[in-house]
Structure 1
Amino acid sequence: MVNWITPGVLASVLLWQSPVAVALQANQNSPRIEPQITQSDVVPARLDTENFAVALRGGALAIEDFGNSGLAAVQLSYHINEDFYVSAEYALAKAGLTSYERLSGAAPLLTDDERQWQFYGAELGYVLLPGEVYLGSDYAINTGWSLFAGAGNVDFAGDTVFAVKFGSQFRLYLTDWLALDLVVNDYVFETTILAESKTTHNLSMALGLAVYF
């Protein structure tokens, strides 16, 4: 029995004194080093969670054959979710003189009341590219670029016609309840003002503010 135990004891002693064992024992007795990592503060985007927004805009409208004029518009929107929204819009402008009226000196084709241009209708929009604009390295502003299409009526030249509209909107969120937006769209409708029926494209660009509530 003694002859069997003695080699085992000797082997254990030799193994304990080996370099590997000494290194393992040193690692166990050495103090633990904790990494000093500074945690950065992450500030989440603070956008208003309300679904309704009212926008007031001013810009320019190019009424085909009647030149450019000022444009005023008001829009009420409901955000269905983060991607889709629906809006109702009312826009107002006043047409100028046609090139025929300016060059010929003939009697005006329209009265002042008939030159009033109005659109009222609705649209469906899709936020295609939500994102951020960085001002320096420490400040960022939330943004959203959307596409929309809709339809409504245009009152112009003493007549009411059906119109479709489509365009894009870029919105810059100044605070959690206030946004600056730029809208470009095209109002498309048929007219017979110049003695023939034709489809007109009336481009507009407007800048405004939107309030969420």
Structure 2
Amino acid sequence: MRQPAFKTLAMALAAGAALASPAFAADGSSADQAIVPQVDRRDLKLPKFPNNDFEVGLFGGVYSTQNFGSSAAGGLRLAYHITEDFFVEGAAGTTKVSDEAFRRILPGGIFTGDTEKLIYSNLNIGMNVLPGEVFLGSSYAMPSQVFILAGGGTTRFNGQRMQTVDVGVGVKVYVKDWFALRVDMRDNIYTLDLLGKRDRTQNVELNAGLSFLF
């Protein structure tokens, strides 16, 4: 006689649990929920940032030719940034060298004229080593980049064409994403045959210029 009573109690408890548990719709929302969110997914378009892998620049400065003193120099450069850390750069420049110091000792000097044109070109591999910022006041900063480079090329001077090795260091300050100010110091090393004697010369170049990136 007790078994039907237990069945009746179990059925009553099961019915109560079913009434107490919320029902769910097919989309997973509760049937008792007052507001069912209907949010449509949007297709997002990622912004396209320019790579600025290429760099074209103009520079001017001072070229110190060993044994001949310093003179103004200028030229062009073109670079391709392989990664954020490494780049390849080609540059070409020219300056006029005077033999005034030799004319004080040797009658007629060394050159046929008062000055001789020196033309140089090189191809370098560079590496960015010290990224940073340049602050103008307390509320404005511009990104900066210190880099080193090394390479080789040719130098034409006084009827001679010399193989040249150059090493250098520089800093670049980005005024805009596409525009930067740049300062370089390089040592151009080549062997020069002067007065019948071949000497290895160290020719330091200091220049500043503008760079345009695209």
Same fold, judged at TM 0.5 (above): yes
**SS of corresponding position for 2:98:** coil
Q: Is the 8 A contact 1:191 1:197 kept in 2?
A: yes
Tell me the residue number matched to 2:97.
95
Tell me the residue number matched to 1:85.
87
Give the 3 Å change call, closer, same or farther, for CA 98–192 of structure 1 in structure 2. farther
TM-score normalised according to structure 2 size: 0.74
Tell me the residue number matched to 2:3.
none
**SS of corresponding position for 1:137:** coil
Per-residue deviation, residues 68-102 of structure 1 (Å, max 9, x unmatched)? 1111021000000100000011010110115222x
Cα distance, 1:114 vs structure 2: 7.6
Cα distance, 1:137 vs structure 2: 2.5
TM-score normalised according to structure 1 size: 0.74
Tell me the residue number matched to 1:27.
none
Count residues in correspondence.
Answer: 166
Q: Is the 8 A contact 2:60 2:209 kept in 1?
A: yes
> Which contiguous aligned blocks of 4+ residues in structure 1 show a shift greater than 4 angstroms?
none
Cα distance, 1:108 vs structure 2: 2.5
Tell me the residue number matched to 1:149.
150
Q: Is the 8 A contact 1:67 1:98 kept in 2?
A: no
Q: Is the 8 A contact 2:102 2:110 kept in 1?
A: no
Superposition map of 1:179-190 within 5 A: 179-190=180-191
Tell me the residue number matched to 1:191.
192
Instruction: Give ranges in structure 1 of 5+ residues lacking alignment.
Output: 1-46
Cα distance, 1:151 vs structure 2: 0.1
Instruction: Give ranges in structure 2 of 5+ residues lacking alignment.
Output: 1-48
Cα distance, 1:111 vs structure 2: 2.6
Q: Distance in 2 between matches of 1:113 and 1:66?
A: 12
Structure ranking higher in helix proportion? 1
Structure ranking higher in strand proportion? 2
